Structure 1
Amino acid sequence: MGVPKELVFGVDYLEPNRITEREIAKFRAEYFIPDSVGMRIPNPTESLSSPKDGEVVFFTDVLLQGVRLPLQPAVQRILAQIGYAPGQFNPNFWVALIGVVTAFGMAGEGEPSYEQFSHLYSVTKSKCADHGGWVHANCLKATERGHFVNAVPTSQKTWRKRRVLLSGDWESPSGSVSTFRLRSKSPLKQPSATQAEIRQIERVRLKVPAVERVYPKFLFTANLIKAQLVNPAESKYTSPF
């Protein structure tokens, strides 16, 4: 694979892309991705760390983790506050984020705040070249607070071979105005949750017990629909898990 002269980010070290136009068309149909969301296969010699203006890297396997395009409002808001672009996060980050958002929705507790997500997970960027600088979500003080999403896979590698460049209305639906806009930048400091927000987290734990917060069961389409994260029409498709 041809690579740019200056390698500035882990995505420039990836193995050859395996995504096809046929698969993109399937994703659009199965996950109700509108035409206003541009999805193109990058040229093998393009620098994915420096895509064209308005484009961002997106690994299509995270659609299996419950991510949708345009991004769900709660997901868009938390990503914007963290400060990294979609292509910088590894799959288990998405498992944690979508899991927390799903649990709040299933419990009837609305959407979690960035502070609440930060109370449960520490967002860090790998400094190891072998890991490509991917952003992780690690459970904070697991022995004290307990894992929120249980049985998360320890290793997922094939996702790196399936990538597209997004443009258009990938961040939020056409015509909508977001409080926070997602930009690739240095992340904000992880804020602290208030006592009221912590009590709400504990209510969610009670309403959605640990036995239900297990991957991949947690992210079945039925749960995502219950949390109002995906189009109910997706129920006609077989769960990928």
Structure 2
Amino acid sequence: MDSSDSSLDLTVKVKNPKAIVAKRTSPVGGSCYPTIDPPSVIGAEEVAVWRKKYELPDDVVIRVPDPEDMVSDFGVDEVPVYERNFASGFRGQIPSLVAKISETLGISPGQLNPPAWRTLIALQNLGDLYGLVIGVAEVLCSYSVSPLSSAEWRYYLHPRGKEPPVREIPKKERKRLLAFEGNWTEKFTFMHLPGFSSIWQLEGRLVVRINKVI
């Protein structure tokens, strides 16, 4: 791992981008990618509300999912994004720490749950504010990447110590925040971000990748 990259980078492009997309094919038929539910409930009206509510620039390209689209149906140069991502501070450019963690683990940025995005954005802002170099090594020193029990092949950051570098929101306070609102896995669209076409990595393969990294 190279932790020398400055946290001031706003975006990071994946090297040798190529689309490896998990389509809705049954593992019984020979595919290693099972269906990843649920489909999106977001349409054009909701996207228009997002643009106004979160002040998204006009040049941010968002593709409204078809009714049958699953989160793994992103195409070339697309990343699945949730409303919670915008509520956590995302505004159209993948934060460098989100991009670097995703690339290092070989997963789609959409597999990190929105609170993980919130933590990484906070860490990046902390580095920018105090001139600190916060890279992949520093993040994985403070956090482990763990699977969500209620969402297939999605992951969160679990603090390794009792005092994480950024404040974690207590569970009793989370229900009052939009970023922790229920049914978040149904509220996604696809954002066009050239250079990002990463695999929707399955859990067993991710564990192997994490072991190699740390």
Task: Tell me the TM-score normalised to structure 1 length.
Answer: 0.58
Q: Unaligned regions of 5+ residues in structure 1, if any?
A: 172-180, 193-241
2:169 corresponds in structure 1 to 152
Q: Secondary structure at the match of 1:13?
A: coil
CA deviations 1:36-95 (Å, max 9, x no partner) are: x43122112224324334433211221111223121334323332232112212122112
Structure 1 residues 43 and 32, CA, compared in 2 at 3 Å: closer, same or farther?
closer
Checking the alignment, whether the CA contact within 8 Å between 2:71 and 2:188 is kept in structure 1 is no
The CA deviation string for residues 134-162 of structure 1, in whole angstroms up to 9 with x for no partner, is 111100132xxx12232425463232231
**Aligned equivalent of 2:20:** none
2:125 matched to which residue of 1? 102
User: For 2:72, what is the secondary structure of its paired residue?
Assistant: coil
2:101 paired residue number = 78
Match of 1:65 in 2: 88
* Structure having the higher Rg: 1
Percentage identity across paired residues of the two chains: 19
Q: How does 1:108-119 map to 2 (within 5 A)?
A: 108-109=131-132, 111-119=133-141
> Separation in 2 of the partners of 1:161 and 1:83?
23
Which consecutive unaligned segments of at least 5 residues does structure 2 have? 1-23, 28-32, 175-179
Residue 141, structure 1, aligned to residue 161, structure 2: yes
Inter-CA distance 159–124: structure 2 relative to 1 (3 Å threshold): same
Q: How many residues align?
A: 171
The match for 1:183 among 188, 194, 198 is 198
- Distance in 1, Cα, partners of 2:103 & 2:45: 31
For 2:106 and 2:168, locate their aligned partners in 1 and report how far apart those are by CA, in whole Å.
27
Mapped to 1, the partners of 2:122 and 2:129 lie a distance apart of 10
Aligned to 1:167: 192
2:38 is aligned to 14
Q: Distance in 2 between matches of 1:41 and 1:50?
A: 12
Residue 30 (structure 2) aligns with: none
Letter in 1 for 2:37: Y
CA change 1:64–1:119 in 2 (3 A) is same
TM-score for both structures, normalised by structure 2 = 0.64
Indicate the RMSD between aligned Cα atoms, in angstroms: 3.1
1:81–1:68 distance in 2 versus 1, CA, 3 Å: farther
What is the DSSP-based 3-state SS (H/G/I as helix, E as strand, rest coil) of the residue aligned with 1:131? coil
Q: In structure 1, the residue corresponding to 2:61 is in which secondary structure? A: strand
Say which SS state the counterpart of residue 189 (structure 1) adopts: helix
CA 1:97/1:73 → structure 2, altered by over 3 Å: closer, same or farther? closer
User: Partners in 1 of 2:144 and 2:91 — Cα distance?
Assistant: 23
Higher relative contact order (Cα pairs below 8 Å, separated by 6+ residues): 2
Change (3 A) 1:123 1:32: same
Q: Return the letter of the residue paired with 1:133.
A: W
CA contact (8 A) 1:57 1:164 kept: yes
